[in-house]
Amino acid sequence: MTIHHILKKNSVLNTFIKEIRDHISQKDTMRFRRNIERIGEILSYELSKELHYYKEETKTVLGVKENNIMNNDLVICSILRAGLPLHQGILNYFDGAENAFISAYRHHPNNDAEFEIKVDYFASPPLKDKTLIIADPMLATGKSMVTVYEAIKKFGTPKKIHIVSVIGSEEGVHFIKKHFPENTHLWIADIDLMLNDNGYIVPGLGDAGDLSYGIKI
């Protein structure tokens, strides 16, 4: 797996990451969602540099210009519900892409810190030989991402996989690296060092789904 840690270089991304982490700024849920969307746009721009292109002529009113045009074989798959603002940011840049949606959540059978990942819903176009972009803002333990990957493999084998995340843990990054194909690319804004005893990223930012759409039951 190739890991692209985008915040290693300073850019306007610094501002958006600071705002989504800040516990006061987070109270503005509309701005939180919009910042996640904008982060998705920045990560998509970086991702676009690794896609395949072909030559196509464009006629202007004064002549003809040859351009390199991106192959449009993309499927964007977001993990509900936290992945929706990130999905929109990616779709803003890859507006011709097909779309898929999958639910994955932590189930605590014993009401303690131990959990398993449940997948209850998946809607997708065929994935065989497509370029798959999996969007999930928080890459904590990595278990959700791997469970999602195992579930979607039943719908065809993509030719290439790109994972887009906002914040991850070092442990989560190492975990998915062991379970995804070698030619997978991870595009992630920032990587934190720790997980707490409940498997949440520290310092992280909290629950991205709750911050975007309100606390769930």
Half-sphere exposure of 88 (CA within 13 A, CB side): 12
Q: What is the CATH number of domain 2-52+73-213?
A: 3.40.50.2020
Q: Where are the beta strands (DSSP E) in the chain?
A: 2-5, 53-59, 64-70, 74-80, 98-103, 105-107, 116-118, 122-123, 131-135, 138-139, 160-169, 185-192, 194-195, 201-202
The pLDDT, as a whole number, for residue 211 is 93
**Of 104, 125, 15, nearest in space to 133 by CA:** 125
For 60-77, letters b (16+ CB in 10 Å) and e give eeeeeeeeeeeeebbbbb
Q: Using one digit for the tens of pLDDT, what is the confidence trace for 58-78?
A: 999 999 999 999 988 999 999
Q: How confident is the model at residue 199 (pLDDT cuts 50, 70, 90)?
A: confident
Q: Judge residue 119's burial from the number of C-beta atoms within 10 Å of its C-beta, 0-12 exposed, 13-18 middle, 19 or more buried.
A: middle
Token digits of residue 104: 């994955």
H helical segments located in 97-214? 143-152, 170-179, 208-213
Q: Using one digit for the tens of pLDDT, what is the confidence trace for 36-52?
A: 999 999 999 999 999 99
Phi and psi, residue 208, nearest 5°: -65, -35
Beta strands 64-70 and 53-59: pairing type?
A: antiparallel
- Write the single-letter amino acid at 31: R
The pLDDT, as a whole number, for residue 210 is 92
Half-sphere exposure of 22 (CA within 13 A, CB side): 13
- Give the span between the Cα atoms of 102 and 123, in whole angstroms: 7
Token digits of residue 127: 């994935």
pTM (2 d.p.): 0.90
- Give the span between the Cα atoms of 94 and 91, in whole angstroms: 5
Average pLDDT score over the chain: 92
Q: Where are the domains of the chain?
A: 2-52+73-213
